[in-house]
Amino acid sequence: MTLKRSVEQKESNTAGYTCFCRACAHLEEDELFRGADNMASVFLPESVKSALGVPSQRKLIIKDRIPLGIYEYIMARTKLLDGIFLDALKNKFKQIVLLGAGYDSRALRFREHNQGTRIFELDITPTQKLKREIIDREQISLPKGLIFVPIDFNRQSLSEVLSAAGYEKDQKNLFLWEGVSMYLTQEAVDNTLSVINSTSASGSLVAFDYIFASVLRRENRYFGEQILYETVSAVGEGFTFGVEEGMIGEFLAERGFKVEQNQTAPDLEKHYLSTEDGSLFGRINGIHAIVVASCL
């Protein structure tokens, strides 16, 4: 899987943004919108942790440092993918693979629900090394069946790396591919989907988010688009891949998948950020969608 950007020598900035947003979401006063990630703050620098305890400081950081609508997007995305992860454990999927895991804590948070599913966390060495150092420092016990797999996405074969880590082919699997596809090349996305489909049993799932191709053309159609594009480009993690809006079904069908659900920003707002009377917690950055697809 080839990355157009060069991140192999440094911790991912986007992984840090995601972790901070999850930590803030867990502290939301309204239980309806409160995030479930009670471990995200563990992976934050001490200077940031101190600000989390002060609501006014949290809100200021979100306003000044997080691109428009991204905090709300990460809140909704985390809830959606938490549910998919838990469903896979409940239905005793053989394996769950987290591609570009970052500071994902699902294997830790949901260990009591795991009845034998093996979980593979794949990421670049700098991010994974720091994550494991923090886990060791905090004396967090690792659940049985959690396997950390360092990978150089630029130089190593995904299928070979998985095989060497003990991944078994032709099993019922879930692949979570969170916050990654938009930073890859078209070839990398195709290669990754090919590995998922060719090594998984029918009915296996892949869940991933993607951006719309018009974002790459700078058409500025969506809420929060311009500032997010500029932000990720400024930190050296610019967008490189997208799918035309409304074409995800055709895109995945050509690669051997059937779309089970596809949620755009308005869908996510309705399902995760709305009250019973229809009022909205906040708008979601509109350039993303999240798709869940099954292997045919």
Instruction: Give the pLDDT confidence of 192-240 residue by residue, as tens digits.
Output: 999 999 999 999 999 999 999 999 999 999 999 999 999 999 888 899 9
Query: What is the predicted pLDDT for the residue at 276?
Result: 87
| 3-class DSSP string for 281-294 | CCCCCCCEEEEEEE
* pLDDT class of 3 with cuts at 50, 70, 90: very low
Instruction: Give the pLDDT confidence of 105-137 residue by residue, as tens digits.
Output: 999 999 999 999 999 999 999 999 999 999 999
* pLDDT class of 12 with cuts at 50, 70, 90: low
Averaged pLDDT for residues 182-194: 94
Q: Cα 12 vs. chain centroid, distance in angstroms?
A: 13
Better pLDDT: 2 or 244: 244
Give the integer Cα–Cα distance in Å for 12 and 199. 28
* Token output for 224: 């929060």
Instruction: Give the pLDDT confidence of 19-51 residue by residue, as tens digits.
Output: 999 999 999 999 999 999 999 999 999 888 888
Find the Cα–Cα–Cα–Cα dihedral 268, 274, 279, 284, rounded to 10°. -30
The closest of 38, 259, 18, 194 to 123, measured between CA atoms, is 18
Contact 129, 148 (CB under 8 A): no
* pLDDT class of 13 with cuts at 50, 70, 90: low
The answer for residues whose C-beta is within 8 angstroms of residue 197's C-beta and 6 or more apart is: 255, 256, 257, 295, 296
For the ranges 99-108, 148-157, 240-249, the lowest mean pLDDT is seen at 148-157
> Domains of the chain, with CATH numbers?
13-295 (3.40.50.150)
The closest of 88, 113, 85, 83 to 101, measured between CA atoms, is 85
What pTM does this model have? 0.94
Please, where are the H alpha helices in 6-91?
Answer: 13-25, 46-52, 55-65, 70-90
* Residue 210 parent element (H or E): strand 205-211
Whether residue 11 is predicted with pLDDT greater than 80 in this model: the reply is no
